[in-house]
């Protein structure tokens, strides 16, 4: 970055696009416009309307909502659902597959009502269904899924109440499948179904030997906690035979993990499942559906590799490989091609949400100028650092850096033992920083940048304080070092000049983003622009629609952010469709069981007592109480007038 940027040519929006990798991870939805703004193209195909993201931010602020905001672009959700169905349809047609494709959205990936509702709405034309893994999810799904041709897949452990809910859904004509996870569920389902008077649609969840790579892989084979082994499957088939209910067994399901980066693992999984599928057909089960679970990955870092935050396949390859593998395996035994179901969650919703926040402040360490004369000390630490500074040249970068690190450690030791004082130590730190700056500049002249430059840039990086909470809005950044593209949403016609890391406002040392996607592997800093006076600087974290919302917590009592869903019209205008105000301070305190009335009473008492003791005047009490009142009603994040 520092090195390759040619200072002679003016920085263009195209340079920004290359630099931040929008063409790699943006999937056609996000690009850099001519004015240096991020532009949203909700069709993802290059045609159709476009909207400037900073314009959307302006629209949000004009409506009186503050940053941070989670922005959902509804058309993108529609485009993702459409692409998935159309690509499967093409593969099915081209490969002469005799079944069809049905998608279901696993509610756990984003349970927000607005999201599930939007999926049911946009997905209806494709009979896109829902997957529920718990009672609350099932109740939500039944209430939202109006389309009786769409599938409703019930995974997870089921008690009597769960089963009854599903059976009544079946009775009302919904395509509700019970996927059996443990053998004991079967008898309960059969018993309740007989009582309620409905024929249950059954599926089996199998444990595969096939495993997936990546951070989100289920432990496959015998180690998996989910699903049935072959002996349990045989037992269930025999039970169904006894009850003369093999016609109820229609579906085979497996899930080897989310975000499967390697297409080879996807193929191995389908192949293994197909063998079991055809054996179940041979046993006399009705079958008809093969449910591959989730796993379709999102290329968060845009590297198109089998790294954990990427994928080494396109949607085309995913669909064609699946359809072709199923046909190839089943054709050998002449087994009828099943309806293919996938439970893609991440790939459906990741693209459509962007977390937007303003930068509140930047802390950078600008060293004092080097003094003309170094103070006299009993050792030559400062002289050595000064000499190193003078020696820095493009040829000796690594050596200078090693020396500097050595002297810096020495400074720490000398200070600890009282051999240098605080001013001398501060001067050593300043010299250390001057050396790093000089090295970083020297490296700009090199064709091949040495690896240590990454460390040096990290050491030189500024901290940009963003108005958001990692724990609330990007839990996977904190928990599993997930990568998300983070970039400025404007000023992309200016060359970014500051290596930075991004801290949130939780005051927690873990509350930061310090890993950024890059074409050459993750980087620990990102280049950002200098802040301008009286002008907000906005950053966007992209591809955050999956898994981030409900896993988030109230660390430091920062609550839900404002949420805005927009719909982009064909003429390039946009409207606010759905809007949710984030938590107020009052909301948050009551979540952790504070009684807001009691808080107010106690503040009153404190103020009254302070009057009594002469700390404040009577009129101060009114100001103080009003301030607390407003504070309780306000947003938990930083509000700027």
The nearest distance, CB 153 to ligand PLP, in angstroms, is 8
d(CA 76, CA 74): 5
Residue count, binding to ligand PLP (CB under 6 A):
16
If you write DSSP's letter for every residue of 457-494 in order, what string do you get?
HHHH-EEEEESS-HHHH-HHHHHH-----EEESS-TTS
Using the rule CB under 6 A, is 211 a contact of ligand PLP? no
Nearer to ligand PLP, 435 or 546 (CB): 546
Using the rule CB under 6 A, is 155 a contact of ligand PLP? yes
The nearest distance, CB 108 to ligand PLP, in angstroms, is 6
For 436, the token pair is: 């790093």
Nearer to ligand PLP, 228 or 296 (CB): 296
d(CA 238, CA 424): 83
For 209, the token pair is: 């030997």
Residue found by looking up tokens 């067994």 in the block: 249
The nearest distance, CB 4 to ligand PLP, in angstroms, is 35
Binding mask 238-277 for ligand PLP (x = CB under 6 A): -----------------x--xx------------------
Residue found by looking up tokens 């850099």 in the block: 32
Among 346, 434, 491, 498, which residue sits at the site for ligand PLP (rule: CB under 6 A)? Answer: 346
Answer for the pair 265, 302: CB distance below 8 angstroms, yes or no.
no
Nearer to ligand PLP, 13 or 345 (CB): 345
Q: Longest C-alpha distance within the chain, in Å?
A: 97
Could you say which residues in the range 325-344 bind ligand PLP, by CB under 6 A?
343-344
Using the rule CB under 6 A, is 220 a contact of ligand PLP? no
d(CA 583, CA 195): 45
Among 203, 308, 345, 488, which residue sits at the site for ligand PLP (rule: CB under 6 A)? Answer: 345
Nearer to ligand PLP, 314 or 393 (CB): 314
The nearest distance, CB 478 to ligand PLP, in angstroms, is 19
Answer for the pair 150, 132: CB distance below 8 angstroms, yes or no.
no
CA distances from residue 201 to 137, 275, 284, 564 in whole angstroms, order as listed: 19, 21, 15, 38
DSSP state of 516: B
Answer for the pair 433, 427: CB distance below 8 angstroms, yes or no.
no
Using the rule CB under 6 A, is 108 a contact of ligand PLP? yes
Among 123, 220, 295, 488, which residue sits at the site for ligand PLP (rule: CB under 6 A)? Answer: 295
Could you say which residues in the range 115-144 bind ligand PLP, by CB under 6 A?
131
Nearer to ligand PLP, 36 or 203 (CB): 203
Using the rule CB under 6 A, is 482 a contact of ligand PLP? no
d(CA 299, CA 609): 60
The nearest distance, CB 496 to ligand PLP, in angstroms, is 33
The nearest distance, CB 286 to ligand PLP, in angstroms, is 22
Four-residue CA torsion sign, 323, 325, 329, 332 = positive
The nearest distance, CB 206 to ligand PLP, in angstroms, is 12
Stretch that binds ligand PLP, among 55-63, 95-103, 104-112, 523-531 (CB under 6 A): 104-112
Please give the helix or strand (H or E) that residue 513 lies within, else none.
Answer: strand 512-513
Among 69, 77, 109, 323, which residue sits at the site for ligand PLP (rule: CB under 6 A)? Answer: 109
For 622, the token pair is: 């009114």
What residues contact 16, with CB distance under 8 A and at least 6 apart? 32, 36, 492, 493, 496
Q: Nearest 10 degrees: CA dihedral of 169, 175, 181, 183?
A: 80
| Strand ranges for 523-586 from DSSP E | 526-528, 538-541, 562-568, 574-580
The nearest distance, CB 314 to ligand PLP, in angstroms, is 16
Name the residue whose CB lies closest to ligand PLP: 294
Stretch that binds ligand PLP, among 101-109, 415-423, 481-489, 560-568 (CB under 6 A): 101-109
d(CA 608, CA 616): 9
CA distances from residue 136 to 33, 294, 545, 546 in whole angstroms, order as listed: 43, 20, 21, 19
Stretch that binds ligand PLP, among 106-114, 137-145, 244-252, 589-597 (CB under 6 A): 106-114
Binding mask 541-580 for ligand PLP (x = CB under 6 A): ----------------------------------------
Using the rule CB under 6 A, is 294 a contact of ligand PLP? yes
Nearer to ligand PLP, 206 or 589 (CB): 206
d(CA 391, CA 221): 59
The nearest distance, CB 292 to ligand PLP, in angstroms, is 9
The nearest distance, CB 144 to ligand PLP, in angstroms, is 18
The nearest distance, CB 452 to ligand PLP, in angstroms, is 37
Beta bridge partners of 354: 71
d(CA 295, CA 637): 35
Nearer to ligand PLP, 261 or 540 (CB): 261
Sites of contact with ligand PLP (CB under 6 A): 106, 108-109, 131, 155, 255, 258-259, 293-296, 343-346
């Amino acid at each position: 970055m520092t090195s390759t940027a040619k200072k002679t040519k003016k920085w263009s929006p195209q340079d920004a696009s290359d630099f931040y990798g929008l063409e790699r991870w943006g999937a056609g939805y996000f690009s850099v416009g001519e004015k240096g703004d991020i532009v949203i193209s909700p069709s993802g195909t290059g045609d159709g309307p476009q909207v400037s993201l900073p314009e959307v931010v302006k629209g949000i602020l004009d409506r009186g909502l503050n940053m941070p905001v989670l922005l959902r672009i509804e058309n993108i959700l529609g485009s993702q659902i459409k692409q998935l169905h159309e690509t499967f349809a093409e593969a099915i047609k081209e490969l002469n597959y005799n079944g069809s494709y049905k998608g279901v959205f696993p509610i756990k990936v984003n349970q927000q009502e607005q999201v599930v509702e939007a999926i049911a709405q946009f997905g209806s034309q494709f009979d896109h269904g829902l997957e529920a893994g718990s009672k609350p999810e099932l109740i939500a799904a039944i209430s939202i899924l109006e389309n009786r041709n769409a599938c409703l897949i019930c995974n997870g452990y089921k008690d009597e109440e769960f089963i009854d809910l599903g059976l009544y859904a079946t009775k009302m004509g919904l395509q509700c499948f019970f996927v059996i996870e443990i053998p004991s569920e079967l008898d309960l389902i059969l018993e309740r179904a007989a009582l309620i008077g409905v024929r249950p649609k059954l599926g089996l969840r199998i444990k595969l030997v096939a495993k997936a790579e990546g951070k989100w892989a289920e432990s496959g084979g015998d180690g998996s906690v989910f699903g049935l082994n072959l002996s349990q499957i045989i037992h269930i088939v025999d039970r169904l035979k006894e009850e003369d209910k093999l016609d109820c067994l229609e579906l085979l399901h497996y899930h080897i993990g989310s975000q499967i980066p390697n297409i080879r693992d996807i193929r191995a999984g389908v192949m293994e499942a197909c063998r079991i599928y055809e054996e179940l057909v041979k046993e006399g089960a009705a079958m008809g559906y093969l449910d591959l679970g989730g796993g379709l990955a999102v290329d968060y870092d845009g590297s198109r590799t089998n790294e954990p935050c990427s994928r080494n396949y396109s949607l085309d390859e995913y669909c064609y490989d699946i359809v072709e593998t199923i046909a190839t395996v089943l054709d050998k035994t002449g087994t009828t091609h099943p309806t293919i179901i996938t439970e893609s969650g991440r790939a459906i919703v990741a693209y459509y949400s962007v977390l937007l926040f303003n930068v509140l402040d930047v802390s950078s360490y600008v060293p004092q100028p080097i003094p003309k004369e170094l103070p006299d000390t009993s050792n030559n630490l400062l002289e050595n650092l000064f000499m190193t500074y003078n020696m820095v040249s493009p040829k000796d970068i690594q050596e200078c850096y090693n020396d500097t690190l050595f002297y810096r450690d020495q400074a720490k030791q000398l200070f600890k033992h009282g051999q240098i004082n605080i001013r001398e130590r501060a001067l050593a730190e300043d010299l250390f920083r001057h050396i790093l700056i000089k090295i970083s500049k020297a490296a700009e002249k090199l064709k091949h940048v040495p690896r240590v430059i990454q460390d040096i840039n990290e050491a030189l990086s500024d901290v940009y304080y963003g108005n958001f909470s990692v724990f609330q809005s990007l839990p996977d950044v904190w928990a599993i070092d997930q990568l998300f593209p983070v970039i400025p949403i404007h000023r992309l016609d200016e060359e970014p000049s500051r290596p930075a890391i991004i801290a949130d406002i939780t005051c927690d040392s873990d509350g930061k983003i310090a890993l950024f996607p890059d074409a050459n592997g993750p980087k620990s800093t990102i280049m950002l622009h200098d802040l301008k006076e009286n002008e907000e600087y906005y950053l966007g974290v992209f591809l955050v629609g999956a898994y981030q919302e409900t896993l988030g917590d109230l660390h430091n009592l920062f609550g839900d952010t404002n949420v805005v869903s927009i719909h982009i019209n064909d003429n390039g205008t946009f409207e606010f469709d759905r809007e949710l105000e984030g938590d107020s301070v009052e909301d948050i305190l009551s979540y952790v069981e504070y009684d807001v009335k009691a808080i107010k009473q106690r503040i009153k008492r404190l103020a009254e007592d302070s009057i009594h003791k002469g700390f404040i005047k009577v009129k101060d009490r009114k100001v103080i109480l009003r301030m607390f009142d407003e504070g309780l009603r306000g947003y938990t994040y930083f509000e700027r007038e």
